[in-house]
Amino acid sequence: MLSATPGLIGLPPLAAGGWRTRLLALATLLFAFSCLAVGSQQGGSTPLLERSVKAAFLYKFLGYMEFPTAPGPSLVVGVLGADDVAAELAQITSGRSVGNRSISVRKVGEGDALGGLNLLFVGGDASLAEAALHTAEKNGTVVVTEQLNGLQNGSVINFRLVDERVRFEVSLPAAERCNVRLSSRLLSVAYFVQKGGQ
């Protein structure tokens, strides 16, 4: 039988943690994903706001992914070509964890080894060589980009500006290649989901 809580009719009761906590987390995620506008701001702060929004997304993405590697003490996020995002992400994640794993942020240069990364953000004009992309896939590293053809170039997640808001698109084939499972909650708020054969 379904519970009948005022305002939330039809939700089944959940085990420890409760449906209220999960509902609040989902509502927070949906609100953050749908309301992060980066439209024109006075004083030319749009790029800074956009970078902050993307850093916040990168942090949130970690909680909606199951990585193939054995759980270690921390999740490692590499940032290539976007020092401002790396700094913002390091600030956001300081003292926080995903599950029982702490988060560390590492700046990566072109040509650097990509071992040990769970997620790699490739910013702006930076590029990831095809060989490096294949290495990342083999290592189970989720590649996130902000390029016009990011998904077509092999990234799992790609940021886009749509109606002056930061949105993201997801490639399920790319996620499968790096053996990472993406939560249906993450997919439900994506601007576009590329499935097999697209």
User: Which structural domain, as residue segments, surrounds residue 23?
Assistant: 15-194
Domain assignment of residue 30, yes or no:
yes
Count of structural domains, the chain: 1
- The shares of helix, strand and coil residues in the chain, as percent rounded to the nearest 5, are 35, 25, 40
**Could you tell me if 119 and 157 are in contact, meaning their C-beta atoms sit under 8 angstroms apart?**
no
* One pLDDT digit (tens) per residue for the chain, 198 residues: 444 434 333 334 444 455 555 544 554 555 455 444 444 333 344 488 999 999 999 999 999 999 876 667 899 999 999 999 999 999 999 999 998 899 999 999 988 888 899 999 999 878 788 888 888 999 899 999 999 889 999 999 999 999 989 999 999 999 999 999 999 999 999 999 999 865
Q: What is the pLDDT of residue 100?
A: 87
1 in a structural domain:
no
Cα 118 from Cα 183, distance rounded (Å): 16
Give the ranges where the chain is alpha helix by DSSP (H).
18-35, 46-62, 83-93, 130-138, 172-177, 184-188
Task: Burial-class residue 178 by CB neighbours within 10 Å (0-12, 13-18, 19+).
Answer: buried
Report if residue 49 sits inside a domain: yes
Residue 35, domain member (yes or no): yes
Pairing assessment for the beta strands 157-162 and 142-145 based on DSSP bridges? parallel
* pLDDT at 18 (0 to 100): 57
Query: Within a domain: residue 5?
Result: no
9 found inside a domain: no
CATH number, position 145: 3.40.50
Give the tokens for residue 27: 């509502």
In this structure, is residue 6 part of a structural domain? no
**10 in a domain, yes or no?**
no
